[in-house]
Structures are given as structure tokens and as C-alpha cells.
Amino acid sequence: MAKKRVVSGMRPTGKLHLGHYFGVLKNWLNLQEEYSPIFFVADWHALSTKYDEGLNLNQLSLELVKEWLAVGISPEKSLIFRQSDVKEHAELYLILNMITPISWLERNPTYKETLAQPEYKEKNNAGFLTYPVLQTADIILYDGEIVPIGEDQRPHLELAREIVRRFHFLFKREIFVEPQELLTETPRLPGVDGRKMSKSYNNAIYLDDTPEEIWNKVRRAVTDPQRIRKSDPGNPEVCIVYQYHKIVTPDEEREEIAQLCRQGKIGCVECKKRCASNIEKIVGTIRERKREISDEEVENLLSQGGERARELASKKMEEVNRLIFH
């Protein structure tokens, strides 16, 4: 039986943090061992919400791919490219836009929520409304069957399936695959202050943070608020530091820390130091590996990946164009 086709993308909008690593990239790494996935930089998608922010999309894309490589995504196992290098995404997007009712797009919860934020009202652009149409093109161009995504992207996959079914109905031939989402099981990692990890709160630990930056963030992480003195028994389950221990600290050490905390035998500063040092064990490796990757290496890899992607995509577009126009 042929391996299922896995397709996913990420927008190049800034540095990746621990939440991305444990929520998305770990998943990608596992998939990479089993399938030959397609992972691409969704640079057109980045424009759809941030076209007026003067992003340096080339630099952001190179940085993003460096971080993928640094965590172990490999061009030998995965097809890595940049969306804007494969014009077939735009071509299919155009055709899908012709058959997608605006009402379907206006119903999309991600669209409604973003639009409800006052800062977005003013830049309500057509490309943002049709974001899921481009995402559909990204996937079905490669017969993507499995799409690893976060919970927030679920409505987009539902729309993708609806658009595929409509295409098949209108053009009377089933040339696409209906993609299925693969949700990440890891619960969302909070920022050190307990709020959502976000650049604007300065509460995220980035994959290229230095040991000092890591410590400065872990140091001010929120602990069990009932615990004032070291001898007070604590509850690790309500502590943000412990949530980090759960993902970065080996089971045995973590159990020990939980016990010491409950018995009031470890101070929060000591506990945070151990947490920061375990974070550094992961981030340090990624940071150093990222530093060794040159822009040129990434450019070469993207140019080769783009070529391979165009071969696949152009075959599919020939089929689409034959069906509609000939």
C-alpha cells in the first residue's frame, strides 16, 4: 500500500518558540520518519494578514527553515519549499475562488474572530477572507491526505473538504483527495506568566534564546501562589514552572521535584534553576545547530525543493486545466 501523503505549512511571521516545538515540530519529526511529508513556508499566507507590516519575507522564510533544520527536519526525508516559488498554488487558488461561495468564507470562525479585533477591521482585505481557499490549494495540489495542524485550523480543513466536493460536483470528475486533519495531542503550552505565549507579552521561550534569556523568563514564571516560604507545602499542578518541567524534565527528576515541592523541601528558585537548565539542554542544541546553517545552504535547499514541488504541482494543474478548459 502506498504511503499516505502528508502536507503542512507554516507562515513565516517570526521566531519559533517552545510551544511550536512541542506542539507542531515534534509532530512533524515523527511524521517525517513514517511518510515523505511536504513542509512548506506559507509566505503568501503571511501577507494575507500582515501585508501592511513591511515584513522582510525573504529573511523570515530563511530563518524559519533554519529552525526547521535545526530541530531535525531534513530535506532528505521531507520536501521543503517556499509557497511563492510554486506559482501553481496561485493558479489553483484562482480557480477555487471561482467556485467558493463567499458565505462559506464569512462563516469561518477564524475569520470572524480575527475581524472582531479592532486592529484588523481596517485591513480587511480580500486575501484574508480567502485565506482558507489558498490553504485548500496548498493541500490538494499534492493530493494531501493527512494535514498536521493545530485545533484553530480545524475549520479550514472542513472548508477544504467542502471545496473539493463542490469542485467534483461542478466539474463531474473526482481528481482531488479530501484531506483529513491530524491534530496535535500536546496541550497548548502557556507563556511563563500563565497567559497565551505571545511575542507582545514577552513571555515565550524562543528556540534560539540564550541561557541568560531563558533564565530571565523562567525566573519570573508564575508559581503556586499559596507558597510563600520554602517550607510551605506547594501544589505543582497549579504552577507554570511545573508545566514546563512536564515537557522538558525527565520523568524521574520531575517526580522527585513534585514530591519535594509538596513536602516543602525545595525552594522555587532552585526549582526554576533546574527547569531553566533542562530547557537549555533542548534549546541549546537547537540554537547551536541553527547557528551553523548558512543562508546560502537554505537558499539552495529551497531552490531544489521548489523545483521538485513544481514538478508535482504542474502535473496536477495540467489535469485541472484539461478538465475545465479543454
**What is the binding site for ligand TRP (CB under 6 A)?**
7-11, 42, 45, 135, 138-139, 147, 149, 153
User: Which residue matches cell numbers 480587511?
Assistant: 124
For residue 6, list its beta bridge partners.
146
| Cβ atoms within 10 Å, residue 11 | 20
> Among ligand TRP, ligand SF4, none, what does residue 42 contact (CB within 5–8 Å per kind)?
ligand TRP
Query: Could you tell me the smallest distance in angstroms from the CB atom of residue 9 to ligand TRP?
Result: 4
Nearer to ligand TRP, 50 or 245 (CB): 50
Nearer to ligand TRP, 8 or 223 (CB): 8
> Among ligand TRP, ligand SF4, none, what does residue 242 contact (CB within 5–8 Å per kind)?
ligand SF4
Contacts with ligand SF4, residue ranges (CB under 6 A): 223-224, 227, 234, 236, 239, 241-242, 261, 266, 268, 271-272
> Among ligand SF4, ligand TRP, none, what does residue 138 contact (CB within 5–8 Å per kind)?
ligand TRP
> Among ligand SF4, ligand TRP, none, what does residue 153 contact (CB within 5–8 Å per kind)?
ligand TRP
Nearer to ligand SF4, 81 or 242 (CB): 242
> Among ligand SF4, ligand TRP, none, what does residue 147 contact (CB within 5–8 Å per kind)?
ligand TRP
Distance CA 312, CA 292 (A): 31
> 206 by DSSP, 3-state: which?
strand
Nearer to ligand TRP, 130 or 223 (CB): 130
First to last CA, the chain: 33
Beta-carbon contacts of 290 under 8 Å, excluding residues fewer than 6 positions away, are 66, 67, 69, 70, 207, 208
Nearer to ligand TRP, 148 or 236 (CB): 148
Nearer to ligand SF4, 4 or 230 (CB): 230
Beta-carbon contacts of 207 under 8 Å, excluding residues fewer than 6 positions away, are 15, 16, 17, 18, 20, 21, 67, 70, 71, 283, 286, 287, 290
Amino acid at 262: R
Per-residue CA distances from 81 to 5, 41, 50, 222, 305 (Å): 16, 6, 21, 39, 5
> Among ligand SF4, ligand TRP, none, what does residue 227 contact (CB within 5–8 Å per kind)?
ligand SF4
